[in-house]
Amino acid sequence: EDMDVETIWQNGEFTPWDEATVHVLTHGLHYGSGIFEGARAYDTDQGTGIFRWDDHLDRFYASAKPYDMDIGYDREELTEATLELLRREGLESAYIRPIAFFGYHSLGISPEDVPTEIAIAAWPWGSYLGDDALENGVKVMISSWRKHHSSQIPTNAKTTGLYVNSMLAGEEARRHGFVEAIVLNKDGDVAEGPGENLFLVRDGEIFTPALSESILDGITRDTVITLARERGYTVNENVSISRGELNTADELFFTGSAAEVTPIRQVNNVEIGNGSRGPVTEELQQAYFDLVEHRAGDHDEWFTDV
């Protein structure tokens, strides 16, 4: 796929796109021992700004911790590299993908003496689940694959190896004609999407699975909770949501840095609400885009200017 970008920042250097390669015996390739982030820069009213970059950096370093992985660059260095990359490429808006992984040294499972490699790429990326998705919502399938429990692997870390579960769930759904999956946790309650958190609206109140349900602590989840509370909604973020509650919801939607706020209009064979984007979803989606494009002019603290 041609992403129309010339450069990737890799191990401290700006490297031509085609030369940003790794050895085939890279530890992270064999064992999924990498951690990554996904953020977006938006073309805002005040120029290009990265949305909640500090929070993405926090989570990047936090994800490395359980693996005892030394990122090797501090926040200022990673921020400077990212800003310089966006400026060099003249990207007014972009998806930003920092990744760190155990590199090439030996292939024992122990990463002792294996160097950490790091890269940051950025490229233009439109709506994650398709142009129609934001307006009309997506059809999702409840995956037959359960999510790993947080006692099996830290689910609050964005570890590369975790995403084979996301791939299995998403591809199963797409083979059945759906756009995306909903993944249940080991108890059979709702966890999240393969790359999104999930929200439910019922009787004017908002619900989202608790962090203890083996989900990622999504930054968009936190943003949407904040926006909803600012608009007077009651948000219940410490609940578990049973599979059956999906069917009877008034509205459902996904959140994510890539997926932004995407309505869900059908789960398996069941239409949700009136089968299109619901009013609360629409209000919060509008609020989200007003915020990230900085039209709302508030939450300055959430922007890193390019």
Q: Which residues bind ligand PMP (CB under 6 A)?
A: 38, 192, 195-197, 216, 218-221, 255-257
* Nearest distance from C-beta of residue 214 to ligand PMP, angstroms: 10
Query: Residue 294's Cα: distance from chain center in Å?
Result: 20
Residue with tokens 């909803």: 228
Smallest CA-to-CA distance from 291 within 276, 306, 301 is with: 301
H helices of the chain, in order, are: 27-31, 53-64, 75-89, 131-136, 163-175, 219-230, 243-247, 279-292
Q: Which of 65, 139, 147, 158 is catalytic?
A: 158
CA angle 149, 128, 86 (to 5 degrees): 105
Q: Establish whether 158 is a catalytic residue.
A: yes
* Nearest distance from C-beta of residue 278 to ligand PMP, angstroms: 20
Instruction: Name the packing angle between helices 75-89 and 53-64 (round to 10°).
Output: 130
* Nearest distance from C-beta of residue 143 to ligand PMP, angstroms: 12
Integer Cα distance of 241 and 207 in angstroms: 8
* Nearest distance from C-beta of residue 186 to ligand PMP, angstroms: 15
Beta bridge mates, 100: 35, 118
Residues 178 and 141 sit within 8 Å (Cβ to Cβ): yes
Query: Smaller CB distance to ligand PMP: residue 49 or 256?
Result: 256
Query: Smaller CB distance to ligand PMP: residue 7 or 165?
Result: 165
Query: Smaller CB distance to ligand PMP: residue 139 or 221?
Result: 221
Residues 261 and 288 sit within 8 Å (Cβ to Cβ): yes
Strands 138-142 and 205-209: unpaired
Query: Smaller CB distance to ligand PMP: residue 86 or 216?
Result: 216
Query: Smaller CB distance to ligand PMP: residue 67 or 95?
Result: 95
Q: Which of the 8 DSSP states describes residue 118?
A: E
Query: Smaller CB distance to ligand PMP: residue 85 or 224?
Result: 224
Mark residue 297 as left, alpha or beta (left: phi above 0; alpha: psi -120 to 50; beta: remaining): left
Query: Which burial class, exposed, middle or buried, applies to 68 when counting CB atoms under 10 A from its CB (0-12, 13-18, 19+)?
Result: exposed
* Nearest distance from C-beta of residue 277 to ligand PMP, angstroms: 19
* Nearest distance from C-beta of residue 216 to ligand PMP, angstroms: 4
Catalytic residues: 158
